[in-house]
Amino acid sequence: MAAFQPKITAFVCNWCTYTGADLAGTSRLQMAPEVRIIRLPCTGRIDPLFIIKAFERGADGVIVSGCHPADCHYNHGNYHARRRFAIFRDLLDFVGIDPRRVIFSWVSASEGGKWRDVVDGATATIRELGPCRTDTGDEGQGRLACAS
């Protein structure tokens, strides 16, 4: 059997983490290839529904990463995100997603190395947890059930 290739969606802000990920590239830091980045202006823009939708569409894990607290390009968008996700985490269990599948981190524009660690760490975690399935097997339908 081929090794499990997890699908991981990363929602990152344009100013810190996206730039940090670019820096990782400029520094030629090698990392796991399973993460796909969706660029947003700010973590404040991230609707918790995006995360649910990503799982519904077959993601096995989600990374949410933005500027460090107090370093937000938009002054305090990341604080709104932090509060939102503190509550959202509890709801994950309710919809049947192992909260370990959602990884939150702060990666600044100068932390290319940290981004690599986040990507590799998330890939290892998701690989361990195994695939995340919807119980109907039908894309976009039915209640989510991540067997792990």
- Provide the binding-site residues for another protein, judged by CB under 8 A: 7, 9, 15-16, 18-19, 21-22, 24-26, 28-31, 33, 36-42, 44-47, 50, 53-54, 57-59, 70-77, 80-81, 84, 108-111, 116, 139
**85 vs 100, which CB is nearer to another protein?**
85
Q: How far is 9 from 145, CA to CA, in rounded Å?
A: 18
Shortest CB 65 distance to another protein, Å? 13
Give least dist CB 93 to another protein, A: 21
Least CB distance to another protein at residue 148 (A): 19
Q: Closest CB to another protein among 15 and 65? A: 15
CA angle in degrees (0–180, nearest 5) for 133-126-131? 20
Q: Is 1 helix (H, G, I), strand (E, B) or coil?
A: coil
Number of C-beta neighbours around residue 37 at 10 A: 17
Cα distances from 135 to residues 59, 60, 100, 114, 141, in angstroms, run 14, 14, 19, 35, 9
10 closest CA partner among 91, 120, 146, 131: 120
Shortest separation between residue 61's beta carbon and another protein, angstroms: 12
Q: How far is the CB of 101 from another protein (least distance, A)?
A: 15
DSSP 10: E
- 8 Å CB contact between 31 and 117: no
